[in-house]
């Protein structure tokens, strides 16, 4: 996909009504320090479209980015950040659950996991949650440039096993530094657009 225009169109807090969009949506979920903002900026070829921060847990809203009037990229709040209160974490969880449960245009959910570490309890819960809501999670293993090339396949196998993901679950390595894996993610997002067009015919 060639990015012609991208616009942060809607920002939803805990009490906001979710928008009733007429374009397909793809959502990105992950722990608050997994590199989600960096990935979104890399996908969009923008340096600061999504705010990256040295303080994890900054994304406290659901952000809807309109891409080329063809697709919404939906940035979900980062979860699992220890320095926010239990009440705050619960509130973010309810926001994510409400979105996954009620969006009529959500077509794919990407779950970001740091390739260097075994998935956390929160990661496993989110993977199961996405599956429970009827979506096939697509796992993106971020920070792939932080390990040797030879270790990538080994880490992906470990993550697959730890999540209990079947052999059909797509698991992709990604680096926001080198942009490795970006085209694979865009191919999957392009498929969403194409499938939506076919369904409307």
Q: Consecutive 10-residue runs of the chain (201 residues): their mean pLDDT? A: 89 90 96 91 78 52 94 91 66 85 96 97 93 95 96 97 96 96 95 90 72
pTM of the model: 0.91
Are 110 and 29 in contact, with CB atoms under 8 Å apart? Answer: yes
| Phi (first) and psi of residue 122, to 5 degrees | -65, -40
Query: What is residue 174's predicted lDDT score, i.e. its pLDDT?
Result: 98
Structure tokens at 82: 């220890």
Query: What is residue 53's predicted lDDT score, i.e. its pLDDT?
Result: 44
Query: What is residue 101's predicted lDDT score, i.e. its pLDDT?
Result: 92
Alpha-carbon span 75 to 73, nearest angstrom: 7
Residues counted in the chain = 201
Alpha-carbon span 85 to 27, nearest angstrom: 25
What's the half-sphere exposure (Cβ side, CA atoms, 13 Å) at 134?
8
Query: What is residue 52's predicted lDDT score, i.e. its pLDDT?
Result: 47
**Residue 58: partners with Cβ closer than 8 Å, 6 or more residues away:** 32, 37, 51, 78
What is the distance, to the nearest Å, from the Cα of residue 140 to the centroid of all Cα atoms in its chain? Answer: 8
Query: What is residue 50's predicted lDDT score, i.e. its pLDDT?
Result: 63
Q: For residue 63, what are the β-bridge partners?
A: 11, 75
Query: What is residue 81's predicted lDDT score, i.e. its pLDDT?
Result: 64
Ranges of H-type helices in the chain:
36-44, 86-102, 121-132, 149-163, 182-200
How would DSSP label each residue in 127-149?
A: HHHHHHTT---EEEEE-GGGS-H
Roughly what angle, to the nearest 10 degrees, separates helices 121-132 and 149-163? 60
Query: What is residue 191's predicted lDDT score, i.e. its pLDDT?
Result: 95
Query: What is residue 85's predicted lDDT score, i.e. its pLDDT?
Result: 65
């Amino acid at each position: 996909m060639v990015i012609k225009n991208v616009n942060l169109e809607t920002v939803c807090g805990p009490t906001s009504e979710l928008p009733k969009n007429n374009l397909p949506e793809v959502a990105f979920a992950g722990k608050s320090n997994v590199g989600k903002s960096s990935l979104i900026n890399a996908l969009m070829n923008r340096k600061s479209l999504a705010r990256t921060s040295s303080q994890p847990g900054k994304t406290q809203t659901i952000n809807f980015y309109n891409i080329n009037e063809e697709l919404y990229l939906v940035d979900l709040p980062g979860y699992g950040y220890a320095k926010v209160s239990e009440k705050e974490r619960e509130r973010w969880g309810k926001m994510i659950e409400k979105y996954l449960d009620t969006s009529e245009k959500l077509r794919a959910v990407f779950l970001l996991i740091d390739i260097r570490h075994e998935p956390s309890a929160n990661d496993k819960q989110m993977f199961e949650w996405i599956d429970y809501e009827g979506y096939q999670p697509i796992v993106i293993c971020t920070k792939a440039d932080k390990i040797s090339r030879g270790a990538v396949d080994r880490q992906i196998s470990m993550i697959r096993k730890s999540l209990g993901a079947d052999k059909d679950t797509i698991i992709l390595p990604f680096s926001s530094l080198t942009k490795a894996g970006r085209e694979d993610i865009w191919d999957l997002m392009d498929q969403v657009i194409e499938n939506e067009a076919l369904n409307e015919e």
